[in-house]
Amino acid sequence: RKEVEQDPGPFNVPEGATVAFNCTYSNSASQSFFWYRQDCRKEPKLLMSVYSSGNEDGRFTAQLNRASQYISLLIRDSKLSDSATYLCVVNIGNFNKFYFGSGTKLNVKP
């Protein structure tokens, strides 16, 4: 079983739409959670960390549900530039060992 699972999509949405991605993780000892963004043929870049209380950064809101072991990302008012693959990332315990999901692809259409 994979440490981190995501719906691969693609999610095809019109500009201005609200879209949500979920991600589940298998290890209850997971300590830190992140969303990274990866554009086609580019490297992953940190979008935002995910905190227990939930956090917001502009149009992006991340939530963590430890009891159910899932993480969500909500994007409001989608822009064409939001088109990318969104990677859910979990860190388990010591030594900065990060586990990446396989990503959810988002296509925002005009």
Partner 1 sequence: DTAVSQTPKYLVTQMGNDKSIKCEQNLGHDTMYWYKQDSKKFLKIMFSYNNKELIINETVPNRFSPKSPDKAHLNLHINSLELGDSAVYFCASSQDPSSSDTQYFGPGTRLTVL
Which stretch in 14-22, 58-66, 73-81, 83-91 sits in contact with partner 1 by CB under 8 A?
Answer: 83-91
CB 98 within 8 A of CB 89: yes
Contact track, partner 1, 25-64, x by CB under 8 A: ------xx-x---x---xxxxx--x---------------
Query: What tokens were used for 82?
Result: 């939001």
CB 86 within 8 A of CB 104: yes
With CB under 8 A as the rule, give the number of residues binding partner 1. 23
Least distance in angstroms from the C-beta of 16 to partner 1: 27
Using alpha carbons, list the distances in angstroms from residue 3 to 26, 28, 40: 5, 10, 24
Q: Which residues bind partner 1 (CB under 8 A)?
A: 31-32, 34, 38, 42-46, 49, 85, 87, 91, 93-100, 102-103
